[in-house]
Amino acid sequence: MSEAEWRRLNRANWDERVAVHLKPGTRYDQARLRDGTARIGAITGAILGSVAGQKILHLQCHFGMDSLILAQHGATVTGIDFSAPAIQAARGLASELGLETQARFLVSDVYETASALPEPSGFDRVFVSWGALCWLPDMAGWARVVAHFLKPGGWLALAEAHPAAYVFDDAAKTADGRPGWYAPYLGRQTMVEDHAEDYADPSARLTNTHTHEWLHPLSDIIGGLLAAGLRLDAFHEHEIVPWKMFDCLVPDGDGFFRWPDKPWLPLAYSLRAVKPG
Ligand SMILES: C[S@@+](CC[C@H](N)C(=O)[O-])C[C@H]1O[C@@H](n2cnc3c(N)ncnc32)[C@H](O)[C@@H]1O
C-alpha cells in the first residue's frame, strides 16, 4: 500500500476524532483551559522545563490544547497537525482565548513541516507528546525534522507511551483481565488496525475505523535522534500513562493511570534530546 494511503486513512480517522474530543467531559475537556487554570502534565512539564519566553514548535498538536496551555504560561507556540478540522478548532480556541499572537497553528504532515514553515529554524523547544509517534512510519525522517527546527542548545521534549507496553493489547486479553501479547517489539511492521472506539470517549463510535500504525522500538527512536545529530540529555521510564491504555489500569490521580498491583513494565517514557550548540 502506498504512503499516501496510510496518510489518507489516518487523517480521515483523526479528522473524525476532533469533534468527539471537543465535546465537554472527555479527557480533552477545555473548562480549565478556558478559565486559565490549566497546567501541563507532570511528566511533560518536567521534560519541557520552564517555558516562559521560549519559542516552541509543537508537532502533532491535535486541536491545540497543550499548545494553548504553554502559551498561557508565557511561551510562543507554533502548532502543526495534518488534520484541518483540528487546526481549525485550535485557531478558534486561540482566538476565543485572545492568544492569537502567542499561538499560531498550521496544517501540515509532520514530514512536510519544512514546506509549511519555511522560516529559518531556531526553536528553543520541539514538543511531542502522548500518542504521536505510533502514527509515523519513519523515525529517522521524523528525527531529521526535529533537528532541523531546533536552534543550537534547544531541545526536543518528548513524552510518549512506552513501546514495550504497545507489545500488549486488550484485543488479546488474558483470562485474568490483563492485556495479552499483540505486536512484536522488534517486528517493525505496519500495524493495519480497524477500531471504532475512541480512547477519550468510550461512548463514541467512529466510522473511519481503518488506520496504519507503527510500534517503534526505543533503539529506532533514540537511534534516529542521535543520527540526526542530537544528544540525549535525559531519559526516564514511567509506571504511569495519562490515558487508560489497558482496561486493567487504575487511576493514579492527576490524570494518570497505573498497573493495579506491580509496575510490571513501563507504560511511558520521556526524554530530552539537545541540538549541540
Ligand atoms: C494522540 S494525538 C496527539 C495528542 C497531543 N499530543 C495531545 O496531547 O493533545 C495524535 C495527533 O497526531 C496527528 N497526526 C497523526 N499523523 C500525523 C502526521 N503524519 N502528520 C501530522 N500530524 C499527524 C493527529 O491528527 C492527532 O492530532
How confident is the model over 176-199, as pLDDT tens digits?
Answer: 999 999 999 999 999 999 999 999
Given a cut of 90, whether residue 119 has pLDDT beyond it is no
The DSSP output letter for 256 is E
Specify the residue with its C-alpha closest to ligand 1, atom 19: 109
Residues whose CB is less than 8 angstroms from the CB of residue 25 and which lie 6 or more positions away in sequence, other chains included? none
Residue ranges around ligand 1 (CB below 6 Å): 10, 14, 60, 62, 65-66, 81-83, 86, 109-110, 129-132, 135-136
Distance of CA 235 to the CA centre of its chain: 17
Tell me the pLDDT tens digit for each residue of 228-269.
999 999 999 999 999 999 999 999 988 999 999 999 999 999
- In the chain, how long is the greatest CA-to-CA distance? 55
Residue 139 Cα to ligand 1 midpoint, Å, equals 15
User: Strand, coil or helix: what is 120?
Assistant: coil
Which of 153, 150, 137, 154 lies closest to 6 in space, CA to CA? 137
Q: Quick check: 45 and 24 in contact, CB under 8 A?
A: no
- Give the integer Cα–Cα distance in Å for 108 and 30: 24
The angle formed by the CA atoms of residues 45, 50 and 53, to the nearest 5 degrees, is 130
Question: What is d(CA 66, CA 71) in angstroms, rounded to the nearest whole number?
Answer: 9
Count Cβ atoms below 10 Å from residue 124 Cβ, excluding itself. 19
Q: What share of the chain in percent tops pLDDT 90? A: 94
Query: Which atom belonging to ligand 1 lies closest to the Cα atom of 131?
Result: 1
**Across 110-134, average pLDDT:** 94
> What are the structural domain ranges in the chain?
3-274
Q: Which CATH number fits domain 3-274: 3.40.30.10, 3.90.78.10, 3.40.50.150, 1.10.8.60?
A: 3.40.50.150
- Is 39:45 a contact under the CB 8 Å cutoff? yes
